[in-house]
Chain A
């Protein structure tokens, strides 16, 4: 990494949220964006328009990001601010979102760099036209309560513990083996369910992407996520999509969560 000299603290940088086709400047103008020092605005790029906000370069350095993002509240604030602008733009015109923290030295620099990528933006706009992204998360069905709870301490009176009946060790091992087998069977079933759901939903979607399932959440969500995927779905098939999710929920008994419609974040890059 290159070491740089001291920057004047008021040096301006340009934060880019998205690139759109014919946005209504009024739609984004009132949004807070990522800083309260300047308004969110538009930057013409020929036939396209970028949604930008001037920011203080000093507030968006690598170090500043690191400090900011080590704090979940700040991370959330910025992520939501970014998303809000992208979503507002997308609500009024075809929009290609850029990832959070896309920054240029200034408007000229942004214009130059983004204009050079016009083909990619047009291609992405074509790909996502009249489509929305829908997230699908599948959780394994809760395991039957008698499966794990009953077996272990069936006969643990003090007398039993001190003098095990003949064959108790073998019985114990059998029980353990049974538990293990049931667990494996459940896992296999869960994976098959995930694959089945993905296959069915894919059949309806224009494109799909598997995301890494979330780990057990610190927030106390004890459910096991077996599928985290996202799909590009044509607008006219949205109802069909929701119906399919309901059907699959009933058929598999799995918890299936939909989120959306999203701006097709996951389908604008090189797929």
Chain B
């Protein structure tokens, strides 16, 4: 698309004429005032916020090519549910590991005691 050099009037904030895609994406995807949340700003019953988040997901690969990957570590954009699921899984795994370790301890301890007695 051709970059238009907008007339510089009383509000010279038209944005740079030639800008790289990363700069634009960073602003039009992530910024601008967001009217969402309590109001159902919806297209076909989808909350706007949902559209935004899905839009991010969809554009990860392409935007990465443009040099943007901030959302990968942005807590607001990584699902909290997913994170707590990971934490839960971690906790569960730790507990299972502990259980296994204590069981092997129990098993090896008597064996060692037996060997002691044998010698």
Contacts and interface: CB of A to CB of B under 8 A. Distances in A.
A153 interface: no
Interface of A is mostly: mixed
Contact of A7 (B27, B44, B63): B44
B33 A261 contact: no
A2 B44 CA distance: 9
A79 B24 contact: yes
B8 to A, nearest CB: 7
B35 A102 contact: yes
Nearest to B43: A103
Given A235-B12, A263-B13, A65 B64 contact: no
B30 interface: yes
Interface string B1-27: 100101111011111100101111111
B112 interface: no
Given A91-B13, A91-B14, A214 B33 contact: no
Task: Assign chain B's interface to a size class.
Answer: 35 or more
Interface residues of A, number: 75
Given A13-B43, A88-B4, A218 B33 contact: no
Contacts of B12: 91, 132, 235, 261
Interface of A: 1-2, 4, 7, 13, 18-19, 57, 60-62, 65-66, 69-72, 75-77, 79-84, 86-88, 90-105, 113-114, 116-117, 120-121, 124, 131-133, 135, 211-212, 214-215, 217-219, 221, 235, 259-266, 268-269
Interface of B: 1, 4, 6-9, 11-16, 19, 21-35, 39, 41-46, 48, 50-52, 54-55, 57-59, 61-70, 73-74
